[in-house]
Amino acid sequence: MAPRVIDPKQVVDALLDYGAAIAARPPGEPPAFTADPEANAFLASDPFAFLVAVICDQGIRAERAWAVPLELRRRLGHFDLQRMAAAPHALRSAFATRPALHRLVNTMPIWVSLAASKVLSDYGGDAGAIWGDEPTAAEIQARLQAFVGISQKKAAMATEILERDLGVVVHELEGSDVAFDVHLRRVFLRCGLAQRDDLEHMVKSARLARPERPGSLDFPVWDIGRRWCRPTDPRCDECAIGAVCPRLVAAGNGVRGM
């Protein structure tokens, strides 16, 4: 069989079309971070809940991570930053109560407590002040990465969600980035947008592919990675970009990670 012709522009256009389709929702409805409308409303209305979800989005399914803030509030009986900062042991108990809120049951309570302390000391107790002054995408990413437990991946993802789903004003979106996670790495290699599995190369590849907003490639790629472009037996014929993807499946087979 002749090799499929690679046209990166067609791949990028298909990714953006798919991203727009899955991000669409009725006006006024909060984004569906989880299957629970109450959890979604809490994430959309409480900036510290959003920050806690970002911190927890590691090592477990995203839907479970984004459900943590509401359940944490239920278990604690409050969502008070002063108390969370002062009593990490209470957070530890809340996280560890069965069923445990997170796989990293020792680490996450510490990171959440440190985040509460930092919001109190640096942002006057208002997590919304992290992104509330109409910053650039690069500024938001840098501010988020200054929190213990927020990596490049989480900061880039959060910046996109804030602008795209939560209506936060973000300037200079050309400074946004894709999140270097396992789905992005696998899909980028297989669809020919990147040739090497390293952070710097992937980020640069996204900037070249979509200079006006590199981060806009993040959501569709993440979703495609979970839905069709699985580590083994990718379902190319069903994939949203299957018609234009070069299907370099072997290129992504070595990608490992959570």
Residues that bind ligand SF4 (CB under 6 A): 187, 190-191, 224, 228-229, 234-236, 239, 241-242, 245, 247, 249
Burial class (CB in 10 A: 0-12, 13-18, 19+), 30: middle
Residue 75 or 227: which CB sits closer to ligand SF4?
227
Nearer to ligand SF4, 194 or 229 (CB): 229
CB of 249 to ligand SF4, least distance (A): 5
C-beta closer to ligand SF4: residue 51 or 191: 191
CB of 232 to ligand SF4, least distance (A): 11
> According to the 3-state scheme, what is the secondary structure of 108-146?
HHHHHHHHHHHHHHHCCCCHHHHCCCCCEHHHHHHHHHC
Taking the CB of residue 199, how many other CB atoms lie within 10 A of it?
14
Work out how close the CB of 207 gets to ligand SF4 at its nearest, in angstroms, rounded to a whole number.
20
Q: How far is the CB of 251 from ligand SF4 (least distance, A)?
A: 9
Nearest distance, CB of residue 95 and ligand SF4, angstroms: 35
Secondary structure of 204-233 in the HEC alphabet? HHHHHHCCCCHHHHHHHHHHHHHHCCCCCC
Torsion of CA 44, 58, 89, 68, to 10 degrees: 30
Identity of the amino acid at 134: E
b/e sequence 151-178, b meaning 16+ C-beta within 10 Å: bbbbbbbbbbbbbbbbebebeebebbbb
Q: Smallest gap, in angstroms, from Cβ of residue 203 to ligand SF4?
A: 19
- Residue 182 or 187: the one with the smaller Cβ distance to ligand SF4 is 187
* Residue 108 vs 251, nearer CB to ligand SF4: 251
Residue 171 three-state SS: strand
Side-chain-side CA neighbours of 16 within 13 Å: the count stands at 15
The nearer residue to ligand SF4, 106 or 195, going by C-beta atoms, is 195
